[in-house]
Structures are given as C-alpha cells and as structure tokens.
C-alpha cells in the first residue's frame, strides 16, 4: 500500500540508518536486503523503490556512517577545548566503542571490506577519510600545517589499528591492554 510522501522519506531515512548500523555490525556480505527491510519493518520488495541496488545502498550507508562518525571530532573539540585529541582518543578507544561497532567508526568496522568494494563505496570512503583527516588536523599538535596534518594522519591510524586489534582478540585483558597502550601513545609527549 501507499504511504504519505513524508512517511516515505522517513522510511528511506530509516533504511539508510539501519543499513549503516547492520553493515558495520555484520559486514556488507553478512547483511541481505531483506534483513535491512525487515529490521525497518518493511518487506524486501519495496527496497528497489528507494535504492537502485544493494551496492547503491552500501555506498550511501557508508557515507552516512562516515558523516555520523566524523562529527565526533567537533564534539571532542567542544567537550574539551584544551585537549581535544585526548578527548577523541578517550571516546574512540573506550570499551563501549569497541563493543558497539554498529554505531562507531566505519573504518574500523568495514575498512577491509571497503577495500574490496567497487566504485561508489570506495568514493564515499575516500571522501569520509579525507574529511576525517581534515578534522583531526585542526586539533593535532605541530608548528606547521604539514606537521599537524602528518600528525593527524598518524594519530588516526593508531586509533583505527588499535580498535581493530582490540576487537579481533578473544581475550578481554589483552583487548583492554591494547586500548590502554594506544591511549598512552596519544598522550602529549611531555619529555
């Protein structure tokens, strides 16, 4: 049956957000079109009225996930203007982020999947990473702009790598140790 224009827009929105979460939780191949639609409360057939294909959805959901996650940077700056990098690290490397991939960093959750993804998804990821680096550069230490940018990239890499490692291991103590070590490495070096 038909729904109102407004309802349809909301449905599309929910499909996108739900997909963004499910993909991060189970990977692109671990989620079917029907799974997403069911989670939203619709049936699989209607999907193609909103998106042209699963790949299309994947690309847009990835863009959404990046947009949500990249907001963390400005939130950190607002929360702790003195040490925004530590604020980000603290949130990014927290057990709650580790244990909830569905609402966290798309790079840590889908990074290696995206590498094998074609076209639109790769573009969305490239744009997302570029934006993330830009945002981190604004809060990274360093005299020159180049220094800050290089430092931002390195910090970003450390965050991503540590989170992936902490999620991989099947040993909570080791997992916590990894998070703590990365947090420590991102503290300002007060020689």
> What is the nearest approach in angstroms of DNA to the Cβ of residue 32?
3
CB of 167 to DNA, least distance (A): 22
Q: What are the backbone angles phi and psi of residue 45, rounded to the nearest 5°?
A: -60, -40
Q: Which residue's structure tokens are 């449905």?
A: 11
Phi-psi group of 42: left, alpha or beta (phi > 0 → left; psi -120 to 50 → alpha; rest → beta): beta
Contact 70, 136 (CB under 8 A): no
Contacted entry of a copy of itself, DNA, none for residue 182, CB cut-off 5 to 8 Å set by kind: a copy of itself
Q: Is 137 in the site for a copy of itself (CB under 8 A)?
A: no
Cα angle at 152 between 183 and 60, to 5 degrees?
Answer: 100
- Contacts (Cβ under 8 Å, ≥6 apart) of 139: 73, 76, 77, 84, 85, 88, 152
Applying CB under 8 A, among 57, 76, 125, 136 the residue interacting with a copy of itself is: 125
If contact means CB under 5 to 8 A according to the sort of partner, which of DNA, a copy of itself, none does residue 54 touch? DNA
74 binds, among DNA, a copy of itself, none (CB under 5 to 8 A by kind): none
83 binds a copy of itself (CB under 8 A): no
Alpha helices for 52-171 (secondary structure H): 54-79, 84-92, 95-98, 106-115, 119-137, 145-168
CA distance 111 to 120: 15
Q: Which residue has the tokens 């430092």?
A: 151
Figure out which of the listed residues 59, 69, 88, 110 binds a copy of itself, where binding follows CB under 8 A: 110
Output the smallest distance, CB 116 to DNA, in A.
Answer: 13
Site string for a copy of itself, 13-52 (x = CB under 8 A): ------------xxx-xx----------------------
CB 108 within 8 A of CB 164: yes
Give the footprint of DNA on this chain (CB under 7 A): 1-8, 11-12, 31-35, 37, 42-50, 53-55
Task: Supply the DSSP symbol for 104.
Answer: S
Q: Site residues (CB under 8 A) for a copy of itself?
A: 25-27, 29-30, 101, 107-116, 122-123, 125-126, 129-130, 149-151, 153-154, 156-162, 164-165, 167-171, 174, 177-178, 180-182, 184-185, 189, 191
């Amino acid at each position: 049956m038909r729904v109102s224009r407004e309802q349809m827009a909301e449905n599309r929105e929910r499909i996108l957000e739900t997909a963004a979460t499910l993909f991060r939780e189970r990977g692109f191949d671990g989620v079917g079109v029907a799974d997403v639609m069911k989670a939203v409360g619709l049936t699989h057939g209607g999907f193609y009225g909103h998106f042209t294909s699963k790949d299309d959805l994947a690309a847009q959901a990835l863009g959404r996930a990046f947009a949500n996650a990249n907001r963390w940077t400005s939130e950190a700056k607002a929360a702790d203007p003195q040490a925004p990098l530590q604020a980000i690290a603290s949130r990014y490397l927290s057990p709650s982020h580790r244990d909830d991939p569905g609402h966290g960093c798309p790079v840590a959750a889908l990074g290696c999947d995206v590498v094998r993804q074609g076209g639109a998804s790769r573009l969305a990821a490239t744009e997302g990473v570029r934006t993330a680096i830009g945002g981190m550069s604004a809060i990274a230490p360093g005299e020159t702009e180049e220094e800050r940018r290089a430092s931002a990239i390195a910090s970003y890499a450390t965050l991503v790598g540590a989170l992936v490692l902490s999620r991989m291991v099947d040993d909570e103590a080791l997992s916590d140790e990894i998070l703590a070590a990365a947090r420590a490495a991102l503290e300002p070096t007060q020689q």
